[in-house]
Amino acid sequence: MSSVPVDHLQALGSATRYSYDTPTIKLLERFDNPFANASLNGAKASGIIKIKAPEFTSLCPLTGQPDFAVIKIKYLPDRWCVESKSLKLYLMAFRQFGEFHESCVCRICNDLVTLLEPQWLTVKGEFTPRGGIPFGPVAKFVRKHA
C-alpha cells in the first residue's frame, strides 16, 4: 500500500472521458514526490523521472496532416510528480489538435513546469520525417536558485 496520499486524483481508477483536440493543463494531475521522503541509513535519496510516450500524434496546423513523435520527458522533481494516466490523457488530447512540432513540445514543457514546479525538466519530441527531414525540438526548464 502506498504511503503517498492519492485520494485527490480524479483520472486514476475512474471512468475515462477522452478528448482528442483540446490539450489543456486541466487534464494533468500530480501527487506528492515519493523521493522527497525516501531515506536509507539517514541519507536522503533523490531521483530523476524519465517518461517515454512513443505514440504521440498531432496535426500540422497548415495542412491538417498527422505528425507522429516519441515524446521524452525527463525531470528532477521537487514536491510533485505527474500522475501517469492524466499525462496519457493530456498527450492524447493533441491527436486532433493543429500545432507545429516546436509549439507542442514547448506547451508540454510549460504545462508540466506549471503543474510540477520541478528543479529542472526537459521535453524532447522525436518526430518522424516530413519531406525527408526529421525534427527533434527540445524545450528545457531549469529553476533559478536565489
Q: Characterize the bridge pairing of strands 120-127 and 49-59.
A: unpaired
DSSP assigned state of 130? B
Residues catalogued as catalytic? 60, 67
Secondary structure class of 105 (helix, strand, coil): helix
Distance CA(117)–CA(102), nearest Å, equals 21
| Tens of pLDDT, residues 70-94 | 999 999 999 999 999 999 999 999 9
Q: How far is CA 62 from the centre of its chain?
A: 25
Rounded Cα distance, 91 and 89, in Å: 6
Local structure of residue 117 (DSSP, 8 states): -
pLDDT one-digit tens code per residue, 91-137: 999 999 999 999 999 999 999 999 999 999 999 999 999 889 999 99
Maximum Cα–Cα distance across the chain = 58
Which domains are assigned to the chain? 25-142 (3.30.1130.10)
